[in-house]
Amino acid sequence: MAQQPAAQRVEALLAAMTLEEKIGQMTLASTGLVITGPGEAGDYLAEIRAGRLGLLGDVHDPRHARDIQQIAMRESRLGVPLIFATDVIHGYRTVFPVPIGEMATFDVDLWRHTARVSAREAAACGISLTFAPMLDVTRDPRWGRIAESPGEDAWLASRYAAAKVHGYQGDDLATPGSLAATAKHFAAYGAVTAGRDYASVDISERTLHEVYLPPFRAAVNAGVSAIMPAFTDIAGVPMSASVELLRGLVRERWGFDGVMISDHGAIAELKAHGIARDDAEAAALALHAGIDVDLMSGTYARGLPVALRSGAVKEAEIDAAVRRILSLKVRLGLFDDPNSSVDAARQSPPDFTANRSLARNVATRSMVLLQDRDGLLPLAGTLRRIAVIGPLADEAEHMLGPWVTAPRPEQPVSLLQGLREGLPDCTLDYARGVPIIADDTAAVTDAVQRANAAELVVLCVGEGRQLSGEAASRARPGLPGQQAELVRRVLDCGRPTVVVLVSGRPLLEPWLFERAGTVLASWFAGCEAGHALCDLLTGRSNPSGRLPVSWPVDVGQVPIHFGQRPGGRPPAPDNPWTSKYLDLPVTPLFHFGHGLSYTRFTLANLHVEPTHSGPGDTIAVTVDVRNEGTRAGEQTLFLFVRDVHATLAQPLLCLRGTAKALLDAGACETVRFELEVATLAYLGRDLEPLLEAGEFTVLVGPSANPDELLTATIELRLAPATR
Ligand code: BGC
């Protein structure tokens, strides 16, 4: 067997399999550490011996993995190895910031690098497939899964998709330390109605193609091994049964020949959706759509034999699914040596010290200084007494965020601990004030006293990890419990106060941003959160994180994002008959890309060359960036385009590039973007890319704030009817 070429090996196995063994390959069960939904472990070893399992979730111990694999390969009739699959989302043992935080670094190499490091750590424990990257664009901070998401923009999310797939998978899946990646949740899960998790999605075909599909297309182009359809339906078609999208679009048009893995229990949920009466119908629908693996619902095992007998499915469909699963096992090198990653890691274990220092670096770069009106930051070196207040100030575990699957993650560091280590000469007076969620204000007075006695207050409030992630939608995504009361009372003291927000989403508390001059968004920053916070607050590092989502003023503005279309009555200050609210501004509190640092940058001299171009050309866009402050810093620059006049109304801003300038105090650099004319295409009426001649505006700046953007004009010339 070991010597056979891959395709032959797969066909030989398939020919030898009983129906039960085939369906077994299509079944994923768990060892019991299920954290994301209903399901029981059952006697998985007996199932493996009987050839009734193809993939197993939640195996985290290398010896355990080896033993189980041995049972699969020696004690099952055909000896097919298992895929150990788990959620490695933003780190494994070393926990990095949640994805929305990592996005804020705007650093493609870093995105790839953290995926590579996570893959090595997970593969060292025997894991060979991760349910990541999550590629759901979202514009709704009510949705808890915005924490796992790449933010509001499709172009950016597509860059993230490719980086993560390359990072997890490496050049060759069989190389020790690689994981098969799963692009999820296909598609438009980020558009759930009113931000309520699992709710129905109803968006236009155009929005689907413009906004939600591109990151998945990018993942497929990057060679992603698996795709997970979303729980949700689009206008009545649950993704787990979408023949049109899964089979028609992804498999047939995009040419994806990898494995489709259902979401947790999602095949059974076709009954709750109301489109399947029983397991046999649900199984048939999912199989027709092209789902190969049933994750945790057992519906394939129960329903496919019945569906086959009734003629609702054909054995050839089952064979096609098994073929794809076996091919992935071959590509992962599992038939040749299922323990290669574990053995390689024994020889050369992951360097957890280096990984932690990477985590510190990523965490530092992910945090976004939203405002510092009074210039409190960095903290003055002369401070001797600081009150550290708030329910998240000494919560190390919460810093890890909602997605931690490794049973023994690296020890997280709280803000208080980070400050204690970093400010040994300072008295830190800690008070929790209030619990994260519960309505208990008994300790507020004590916290206020400590605030009054201090030279400065660091006030750390926000969400607990249980308020973020899956099944954690919040109609009012603000400070939970009595935290607002604590913040008000502390601010009433009038001491200089730095607010640190911990969250997996923009927190919407308009009054807080009015009253507190200094606010730092730290997200759930991972195991090094406390050290990173200390680095930033003390000025050992200069903040460089930028918002990957617009930060609304209030929930009433949601969804709000930079890619909106102008409409026929764009907001005009003096004209009431334009698109506005009577009670809120139309702009976000902080624009996409916003983020301050301890220095100040200016932009000048935007040039485009050539100004007249044709398809196939690349336009050089250059801009001078100057560091006007007194310390080194990093500026992220955004390149947007606007199609001024097109057959179909176009968004005000389309992101087409990001770049960084790392500048010493007083230094100036010319930053260059390459803008390919092909990327000026939009989706025409037929949803195919269409390049139209005419004028385009090129806009470059430090955020999507129109007031900060420099503009230039280019003219696109085309031969008639160019596509
Ligand atoms: C989530 C997925 C996850 C899966 C397996 C589901 O509840 O939606 O993102 O990969 O569980 O844990």
DSSP 442-463: TTHHHHHHHHHHSSEEEEEEE-
Position 40: which residue type? E
- Average pLDDT rounded to a whole number, residues 102-116: 98
Specify the pLDDT at position 8: 94
Phi, psi of 282 (to 5 degrees): -60, -45
Specify the pLDDT at position 4: 75
Radius of gyration of the chain (CA): 26
Residue 422 has pLDDT above 90, yes or no: yes
Residues having CB closer than 6 A to ligand 1 are 36-37, 87, 131, 184, 263-264, 470
Alpha carbons 123 and 662: distance in angstroms, whole number: 35
- Choosing from 107, 153, 263, 279, the catalytic residue is 263
The per-residue pLDDT for range 265-307, each reduced to its tens digit, is 999 999 999 999 999 999 999 999 999 999 999 999 999 999 9
Residue 32 has pLDDT above 90, yes or no: no
The per-residue pLDDT for range 390-411, each reduced to its tens digit, is 999 999 999 999 999 999 999 9
Contact indicator for 301, 23 with CB cutoff of 8 Å? yes
Residue 1 has pLDDT above 70, yes or no: no
* 535 counts as catalytic: no
Contact indicator for 595, 606 with CB cutoff of 8 Å? no
The per-residue pLDDT for range 60-91, each reduced to its tens digit, is 999 999 999 999 999 999 999 999 999 999 99
Percent of the chain with pLDDT over 90: 96
Residue 3 banded pLDDT, cuts 50, 70, 90? low
Q: Pick from 636, 90, 166: which is nearest to 359 by CA? A: 90
- Looking at residue 275, the DSSP 8-state letter turns out to be S
Residue 595 banded pLDDT, cuts 50, 70, 90? very high
Looking at the DSSP bridge assignments, the partners of residue 696 are 643, 714
The structure's pTM equals 0.97
Torsion of CA 215, 319, 298, 78, to 10 degrees: -120
The per-residue pLDDT for range 214-260, each reduced to its tens digit, is 999 999 999 999 999 999 999 999 999 999 999 999 999 999 999 99
Distance 669 CA to ligand 1 centre (A): 44
Residue 722 has pLDDT above 90, yes or no: no
Closest C-alpha to ligand 1, atom 10: 131
Residue 5 banded pLDDT, cuts 50, 70, 90? confident
Residue 559 has pLDDT above 70, yes or no: yes
The per-residue pLDDT for range 513-547, each reduced to its tens digit, is 999 999 999 999 999 999 999 999 999 999 999 99
* Residues near 473 by beta carbon (within 8 Å), at least 6 away in sequence: 142, 143, 144, 192, 195, 196, 197
What is the atom index within ligand 1 of the atom nearest the CA of 35? 12
Specify the pLDDT at position 719: 79
The per-residue pLDDT for range 622-678, each reduced to its tens digit, is 999 999 999 999 999 999 999 999 999 999 999 999 999 999 999 999 999 999 999
Which of 36, 179, 232 most suits a substitution to test ligand 1, by most atoms within 8 Å of the C-beta?
36
The per-residue pLDDT for range 437-458, each reduced to its tens digit, is 999 999 999 999 999 999 999 9
Who wins on pLDDT, 37 or 336?
336
Provide the 3-class DSSP secondary structure of residue 375.
Answer: coil
The per-residue pLDDT for range 463-513, each reduced to its tens digit, is 999 999 999 999 999 999 999 999 999 999 999 999 999 999 999 999 999
Which of 182, 227, 263 most suits a substitution to test ligand 1, by most atoms within 8 Å of the C-beta?
263
- Average pLDDT rounded to a whole number, residues 423-429: 98
